[in-house]
């Protein structure tokens, strides 16, 4: 193999290896290490630019997948007056009263309809 061919082969192997990296585990380990990103990457032979890219990608995915709304916990005496319902308070002022024994799939469908 000529030198340029060998370089291309090494580059292909390197790219293939990068696609098989468990970035979730690496980023969790970095967070628990307390090290700056660059220091952690140097100490663990990780491509810093790839690390930054993957960290940003995973962070964006985590933020985008969160569909949870804030929940306001009321005082116990207020719960008694709800008469076996729980109430979802939407930011626009809408209050949704749902019986505590409602089927979970029905609740999910209703909430999905309201979010559209």
Q: How far from 114 is each of 46, 52, 57, 90, 92, CA to CA, in Å? A: 44, 36, 29, 10, 12
- Note the pLDDT of residue 15: 42
Condensed to tens digits (0 to 9), the pLDDT of residues 8-64 reads 444 434 443 556 788 999 999 999 999 999 999 999 999 999 999 999 988 877 766
Q: Please report the pLDDT score of residue 18 as a whole number.
A: 54
Q: What are the pLDDT digits (tens) for 77-112?
A: 554 444 677 787 777 777 878 888 888 887 777 777
pTM of the model: 0.42
Residue 27's nearest CA partner among 64, 48, 57, 55 is 55
Domain ranges of the chain: 3-65, 76-115
């Amino acid at each position: 193999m000529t030198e340029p061919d060998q370089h291309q082969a090494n580059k292909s192997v390197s790219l293939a290896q990068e696609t098989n990296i468990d970035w979730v585990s690496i980023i969790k380990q970095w967070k628990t290490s307390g090290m700056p990103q660059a220091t952690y990457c140097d100490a663990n032979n990780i491509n810093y630019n790839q690390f930054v890219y993957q960290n940003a990608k995973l962070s964006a995915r985590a933020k985008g997948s969160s569909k949870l709304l804030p929940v306001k916990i009321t005082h116990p005496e207020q719960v008694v007056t709800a008469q076996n319902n729980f109430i979802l308070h939407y930011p626009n002022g809408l209050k949704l009263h749902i019986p505590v024994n409602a089927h979970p799939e029905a609740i999910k469908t209703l909430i999905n309809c309201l979010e559209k």
